[in-house]
Chain A
């Protein structure tokens, strides 16, 4: 039983042709797998490896190198709070403490009880003029204050507001050349 859907595997198989050399497809492929599965399990990485004709160990080696690939379950909404120097000078330490208490966790990577939130302290996000900043749901939240964080959490807990608050996710593929998932009749499970 595979972890990734059949059409995703097909999509991954089509990726290498988009690059001068097929190996470049490994990161976009892991990105797709992570988007579908939430995080990268060893099984998911093996399936990506098989689809790209790469060694599973190689794919895992790439996935473990980059901080945006998650190898453990993460919250549906992740607070990536910058705590590098420019943000720390403008109060990032207090922001982290507030996020922790507001979502009820004790350490980075821990899931909130409802599984909705988790947070990480990250390095410079390249938006230092808005410090303190964080990345949440593929958008930067700037000039953070405790009130702002409470509002962001409330928006995401309330299902009606949530639909408005969440901008559509950018496609992880270059130039949005993402193939449309092909509808496919499900085979009835045997046995």
Chain B
């Protein structure tokens, strides 16, 4: 079992995390694990499973917040060939580590959730696409699947029924773009991971040309709990439209970085100052990314913002993948943004011109600014490049995200950009030297 740095014994996902050896089937089962899958395959219909998840209000935790039951119901019921659940375990959004935390602590929870999801869409196989760097989670899932198969919970006759269920693993090999669902499907098919144009949507034509629902690790890990306690019980938690609990990863300039399970609706102040221990003594929080590096930044003055998914959307940002990156007053926002742009430029798959060209353009501009060669011109270039990257000009969201980093950091920290561009000074670093 992995070292825990985060919530243990939370209300839903981390409920059993205090139990030793939870990754072993007998321990997981002794607490009630696999009772949901047993009930589903023996007593329920696919439609009933979807209805239960619909009642829970569960929305996808990979970043898009899309209602899970709705996604499943898009998969055609009368399709004659195979249908697939594909589990997006390619977690690589900067600042997000919660899927790794869930898989390392409770791999069976994902296996059970993936099997239930397969049943719900009328499929027989779930494919877990896991990023290549995740060696330990891969091994734990591999062993968990083997245990479940040996026990007869997966295979041709799960729990003695005649409804075959399989969970299979596929390893990625290092590409952020694989977190995008259609790029992931391309990669799973043995191709360069470049996003597809939609339609057709994966629900119609997904993995290997078959109807497919792509779900995030955390989303599916929540499903067994919902099936055990009922959708209505889950829906008691959270806000009016953002039900339940979710994982957040807090990283950067805080005293207790970690993966925390929160009830949706708590404020970022609660997460950052109470759960994550607040700023390093003597420093002040300046800015935070509320949902992975792709979510538009919020300044510290907005720490009382709620984690409600729709509330965040209304602010122009998002809860995203739950990766909260905190930066304090000892760090320069321009340098932080420059680092993220290098990331987006490097990870651009190259298919769409605005993203391929725009990302590198932004990197070169930031390089000039940080080398002391900035001017009014550079401020204008960043604004134009940021606009060019956004607004749905690309097949997937990678370009938009790169644009959002520029736009949101410039909007809230125009002063730092102007200092760098117009005066060639960094007051943040100057203050550190003088301190």
Contact = CB atoms under 8 A, between A and B. Distances in A.
A126 B135 contact: no
B92 A61 contact: no
A171 B339 CA distance: 34
For the residues of A in contact with B, the DSSP-based class is: mixed
Interface string A120-132: 0011111111110
Contacts of B188: 24
Contact of B339 (A88, A129, A172): A88
A126 B100 contact: yes
B327 interface: yes
For the residues of B in contact with A, the DSSP-based class is: mixed
Nearest to A123: B343
Contact of A175 (B168, B173, B175): B168
Contacts, number: 162
Contacts of B109: none
B325 A86 contact: yes
Interface residues of A, number: 46
Contacts of B138: 170
Given A89-B253, A127-B97, A174 B171 contact: yes
Nearest to B131: A126
Interface in B127-141: 131-136, 138-139
Interface in A36-69: 61-62, 65-69
B384 interface: no
Interface string B179-199: 000000001111111000000
B32 to A, nearest CB: 26
B113 to A, nearest CB: 18
B92 A174 contact: no
Given A24-B190, A65-B193, A139 B91 contact: no
B258 A139 contact: no
B91 A126 contact: yes
Q: Which of B173, B189, B336 has the most CB of A within 10 A?
A: B173
Given A61-B192, A131-B257, A85 B95 contact: yes
B296 to A, nearest CB: 15
A125 B133 contact: yes
Interface string A3-47: 000000000000000011101111110110000000000000000
B171 A31 contact: yes
A98 interface: no
Nearest to B293: A85
A82 B259 CA distance: 19
Contact of B175 (A66, A126, A139, A140): A66
B6 interface: yes
A21 B136 CA distance: 27
Contacts of A161: none
Contacts of B100: 126-127
Contacts of A76: none
A90 to B, nearest CB: 7
B397 interface: no
Contacts of B323: 128
A26 B190 contact: yes
Ordered nearest first, which 5 A-B pairs have the shortest CB separation? A128-B251, A67-B174, A66-B173, A23-B190, A86-B251
12 contacts: A20-B210, A27-B171, A30-B173, A67-B174, A68-B173, A88-B336, A89-B325, A126-B133, A127-B97, A128-B323, A129-B251, A135-B135
